[in-house]
Every structure is written in C-alpha cells, then in structure tokens.
Amino acid sequence: QKEVEQDPGPLSVPEGAIVSLNCTYSNSAFQYFMWYRQYSRKGPELLMYTYSSGNKEDGRFTAQVDKSSKYISLFIRDSQPSDSATYLCAMEGPPGGAGSYQLTFGKGTKLSVIP
C-alpha cells in the first residue's frame, strides 16, 4: 500500500460546480497536510496548509482533515475555468518522527473546469 493515495482523474466538471478532491494515507504520524495547485509546466503553488484534524477555509477553497479516518479533502466552490490544473495533496510528519523533514505527495488529480 502506498503511503498516500490520490485518484489521478482526470476530473471534468462544469463551471460553477462544487469540486471534491481527496487523498487517503497510511502513516498515522503525518501531522501537516497541504494542497498544492500546479498549472501545466509550472511549479506547484501552495493553496492550503492545515495542522492536525479540522477544517480550514480560504475564499472558495475548504480543506478538511480527518485523522481518525486518515482522509483529507479539498473542496472548491463555484469552480472556474482558471481552476483547471493538477491538484497535489502532500503530508509531513512531526519533527524527528516518521515522515518528517520531507513532503510525501499524492500523485495529483488533474481537474478541468469546462465553461
């Protein structure tokens, strides 16, 4: 079993739809959870950063972490064509612990928002 599982898609939605992106993981030591957006041929851009369980909202984006289920989600409300990109989840363990000092990425989900 891979440490982080993420459906690669592709996922196509109409403009204005609510998008749900998900990752599951197996390493219970992960404490820091991130979502990155990567446009074609560009570097990843940090979208959301959460520590431990809970929700975090930033504009149209909401990140959810459920440590008991080892499951994280990113929701995009009122999706726009400019949201078309690959979304990568990433996780990191506590300092000095398992999975620390480096990010473990999911494979990324390619999203297309159709006008």
Binding window for another protein (CB under 8 A); candidates: 15-23, 61-69, 73-81, 102-110: 102-110
Select 32 or 75, whichever has its Cβ closest to another protein: 32
Select 44 or 74, whichever has its Cβ closest to another protein: 44
Binding window for another protein (CB under 8 A); candidates: 17-25, 38-46, 64-72, 77-85: 38-46
Buried b (16+ CB within 10 A) or exposed e, 24-38: bbeeeebbbbbbbbe
Q: What single-letter DSSP state applies at residue 33?
A: E
The answer to whether 59 contacts another protein (rule: CB under 8 A) is: no
Select 1 or 101, whichever has its Cβ closest to another protein: 101
Of positions 34, 47, 65, 76, contacts another protein by CB under 8 A: 34
What type of residue is 86?
T
The answer to whether 85 contacts another protein (rule: CB under 8 A) is: no
Which residues lie closer than 8 Å to 91 by C-beta, 6 or more apart?
Answer: 4, 23, 25, 27, 30, 32, 33, 34, 72, 99, 103, 104
111 φ, ψ to 5°?
-110, 135
The answer to whether 11 contacts another protein (rule: CB under 8 A) is: no
